[in-house]
Amino acid sequence: MSSSILDAIDRIVAGNRVYAQQTSEQDPNAFKEWNKGQSPEVLWIGCADSRVPETTVCNCKPGEIFVHRNIANCVPADDISSASVVEYAVTHLKVKKVVVCGHTKCGGANAALADADLGQTLNTWLHPVRELRRKHKTELDKLPDDDARSLRVAELNVQQSLEVLRLHPAVKRAINERGLSLHGMIYDIGAGQLRLLEASGVKKTNGLWSPN
């Protein structure tokens, strides 16, 4: 292992020391409080992309957002990993909101614009996103360029994930019993800003989706 490779590790170990020190300076009880447990209000399902760190871009503090991040913020109905996160967050932590956040310049959405072979693992994972592209071909063909097309695919994919979430038994129950709400968003990497997606085909008020 070359020394430059290990320098990268020294850097985040040092970064962590600064984080620990600054956090205690700002609030001497911070770690004591966090030690007691967590009660986040938001479950964030986002992309693994390094440019969209949820707590930073939402200017939130540790403890506020429960997080699942994967390639292209997909929530396949048969995926145990995301299903476990949703179950734990909704049933056990009782979060009040579930956010699915896609983003511009998404490598996954971009790869889904064509059928290049990315290896079997990624091909399988991105299959539903590529299916979305096929389903919406006419609409996508009218868009001016690939950036616009991959953004539209990212939006459709967020809606798709929300559809799956609405059918999750714990989510359904929480919507009816305690007003859990679901939100679709797109993060614009070039502007640093979040945009709320309007829900389609469901009753909504002020961008909040509610069960019929």
Partner 1 sequence: MSGEPPSNPKEVRKYLQQSHDRIFESNRKWASEQKAKHPEFFEKLAQGQSPDYLWIGCSDSRIPAEAVTGLEPGEMFIHRNIANLVCNTDLNVMSVVNYAVRHLQVKHIIVCGHYGCGGVKAAMTPKDMGILNPWLRNIRDVYRLHEAELDDIPGDNDKKYDRLVELNVIEQARNVIKTAAVQQSYEEKGFPVVHGWVFGFNDGLLKDLNINFEGELEKIKKIFDLTKTE
Site for partner 1 in 2-41 (CB under 8 A): 2, 5-6, 8-9, 12-20, 23-24, 30-32, 34-35, 37-41
Write the burial class of residue 182 (CB in 10 Å: 0-12 exposed, 13-18 middle, 19+ buried).
buried
CB nearer partner 1, residue 106 or residue 140: 106
Q: Is 106 labeled as ligand-binding?
A: yes
| 47 has catalytic annotation | yes
| 51 has catalytic annotation | yes
Q: Which of 137, 176, 192, 203 binds partner 1 (CB under 8 A)?
A: 192
Residue 76 CA to residue 59 CA, distance in Å, equals: 29
Determine phi and psi for 12, rounding to 5 degrees: -80, -25
Q: How far is the CB of 153 from partner 1 (least distance, A)?
A: 17
Q: Is 179 in the site for partner 1 (CB under 8 A)?
A: yes
Site for partner 1 in 114-133 (CB under 8 A): 118-119, 121-122, 124-126
Two tokens, residue 210 = 């509610």
| 195 has catalytic annotation | no
Write the burial class of residue 142 (CB in 10 Å: 0-12 exposed, 13-18 middle, 19+ buried).
exposed
Determine phi and psi for 193, rounding to 5 degrees: -120, 145
Question: Pattern of binders to partner 1 over 142-161, x per CB under 8 A?
Answer: --------------------
Select which of 68, 106, 133, 168 is catalytic.
Answer: 106
Residue 83 CA to residue 104 CA, distance in Å, equals: 25
174-178 contacts: CB < 8 A, separation 24 or more? 174/90, 174/91, 174/94, 175/210, 175/211, 176/211, 178/94, 178/96
Select which of 68, 74, 103, 168 is catalytic.
Answer: 103
Q: Is 51 in the site for partner 1 (CB under 8 A)?
A: yes
DSSP 61: P
Q: Is 1 in the site for partner 1 (CB under 8 A)?
A: yes
| 106 has catalytic annotation | yes
| 74 has catalytic annotation | no
Residue 8 CA to residue 10 CA, distance in Å, equals: 6
Site for partner 1 in 74-103 (CB under 8 A): 74, 79-85, 87-89, 92, 96-97, 99
Annotated binding site for Zn(2+): 47, 49, 103, 106
**Which of the residues are catalytic?**
47, 49, 51, 103, 106
